[in-house]
């Protein structure tokens, strides 16, 4: 397919139907814009998906992770083992409580933290482990959970990118003391901005509900604050959007699977790229569709070429330990986590949403192939 620079295919696009619009308009007309019935329904639906007893809706996945860290009693000087291959919030939430992230390198198969490295990264100050399901692909969560249980550590599961995914028949979001989902517009479902902490621990749920609401008591007294809290509430408009999106979850998943399958069909067989794949006994509800380019392909030049052809793309992720703030504060340097760095140098996120047509996917694939050819031709000129 010939390049068409006027054709703009974004990296992501939410799937919003008339049902979501009607629900949000209904909230506006109700006059109850915060702390109402839609939040409660959204919490019940999201916790049920994960097989959890309680859900605590909040303003973002980052807020949910912070509530999980603080609600678990992690504080000054405590250490939390986590991954450097993630969105920065999974490490930042540890720093919010003046605790210390201890990174371990990842597996190239799951892109999650390598369970074989977890215990070697621990110390007498280790209090918790925070694994991340990257791109919707479950990490080796069962092995990590077994280590945490044996060592007496709190397990906080970052499932912000993995609602709808599962491993060995068990849903992402069902492990550990608490799990967190996120609902940014590029996620499997969206509330615009928003997150959800899910847990089976009633005390942790009550603590998180208080903290998200400025530390207020659950008795409803508006100006009685029993602990340090935050304005992490989710509003009714976002919750109404989320309820309808969760009701449509299977259809939304089917659309994303259709797009992922089309990519796999069109891009299979090229020796200069590696397609994303899941482990056996896992079900992946893809958050983004990330390929890996071979070492002989200049990824950044390829991205520029694709942009000129109307196709958005992005490297996913940049290692957390090499972010300027982390290098300055902790002294991290290139080479500290070689698998993470090697993977991060090769990743390229392609446009991905369940709103994409087959023609859209075909155009992206054609322009990716054409961009690689153009870049390599120029390099050999």
Assign 6 a pLDDT band (cuts: 50, 70, 90).
Answer: confident
pLDDT at 219: 78
Q: Enumerate domains of the chain plus CATH numbers.
A: 18-105+112-247 (3.40.640.10), 249-380 (3.90.1150.10)
Q: Report how far Cα 292 is from the mean position of its chain's Cα atoms.
A: 19
List pLDDT tens digits, range 126-148: 999 999 999 999 999 999 999 99
pLDDT at 61: 98
CA gap 104, 125 in Å, rounded: 16
Q: Which of 215-224, 230-239, 331-340, 361-370 has the lowest mean pLDDT?
A: 215-224
DSSP state string for 275-317: -----TTEE---SSEEEEE-TTS-HHHHHHHHHHTTB--B--P
**To the nearest whole percent, how much of the chain has pLDDT over 70?**
99
pLDDT at 83: 98
pLDDT at 173: 98
List pLDDT tens digits, range 38-80: 999 999 999 999 999 999 999 999 999 999 999 999 999 999 9
Can you point out the beta strands (E) in the chain? 54-58, 79-82, 100-103, 126-130, 154-158, 166-167, 170-171, 178-182, 195-199, 273-274, 282-283, 289-293, 347-350
Using alpha carbons, select from 151, 2, 127, 32 the residue that is nearest to residue 76: 127
Q: Which residue has the higher pLDDT, 66 or 381?
A: 66
**Is the predicted pLDDT of residue 371 greater than 90, yes or no?**
yes
**Is the predicted pLDDT of residue 218 greater than 90, yes or no?**
no
- Region 215-235: mean pLDDT is 90
**Is the predicted pLDDT of residue 381 greater than 70, yes or no?**
no
- Region 328-355: mean pLDDT is 97
């Amino acid at each position: 397919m010939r390049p068409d620079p006027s054709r703009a295919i974004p990296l992501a696009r939410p799937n919003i139907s008339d049902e979501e619009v009607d629900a949000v308009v209904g909230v506006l007309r109700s006059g109850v814009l915060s702390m109402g019935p839609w939040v409660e329904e959204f919490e019940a639906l999201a916790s049920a998906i994960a097989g959890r007893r309680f859900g605590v809706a909040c303003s973002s996945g980052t807020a949910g992770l912070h509530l999980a860290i603080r609600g678990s009693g992690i504080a000054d000087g405590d250490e939390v083992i986590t991954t450097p291959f993630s969105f920065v919030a999974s490490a930042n939430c540890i720093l919010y409580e003046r605790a210390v992230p201890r990174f371990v390198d990842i597996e190239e198969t799951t892109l999650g933290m390598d369970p074989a490295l977890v215990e070697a990264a621990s110390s007498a100050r280790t209090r918790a482990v925070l694994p991340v399901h990257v791109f919707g692909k479950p990490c080796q969560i069962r092995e990590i959970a077994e280590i945490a249980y044996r060592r007496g550590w709190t397990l906080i599961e970052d499932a912000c990118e993995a609602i709808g995914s599962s491993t060995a028949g068990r849903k992402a979001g069902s492990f550990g003391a608490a799990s967190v989902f996120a609902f940014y517009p590029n996620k499997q479902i969206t509330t615009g901005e928003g997150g959800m902490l899910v847990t089976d621990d009633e005390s942790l749920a009550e603590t998180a509900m208080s903290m998200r609401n400025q530390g207020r008591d659950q008795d409803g007294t508006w100006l009685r604050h029993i602990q340090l809290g935050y304005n992490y509430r989710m509003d009714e408009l976002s919750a109404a959007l989320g309820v309808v999106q969760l009701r449509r979850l299977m259809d939304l998943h089917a659309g994303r699977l259709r797009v992922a399958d089309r990519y796999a069909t069109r891009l299979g067989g090229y020796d200069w790229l590696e397609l994303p794949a899941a482990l056996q006994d896992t079900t992946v509800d893809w958050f983004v569709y990330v390929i890996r380019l071979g070492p002989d392909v200049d990824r950044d030049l390829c991205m520029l070429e694709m942009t000129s052809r109307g196709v958005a793309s992005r490297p996913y992720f940049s290692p957390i330990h090499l972010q300027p703030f982390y290098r300055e504060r902790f002294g991290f340097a290139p080479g500290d986590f070689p698998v993470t760095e090697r993977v991060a140098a090769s990743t390229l996120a392609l446009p991905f949403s369940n709103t994409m047509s087959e023609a859209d996917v075909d155009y992206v694939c054609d322009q990716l192939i054409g961009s690689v050819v153009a870049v390599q031709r120029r390099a050999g000129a």
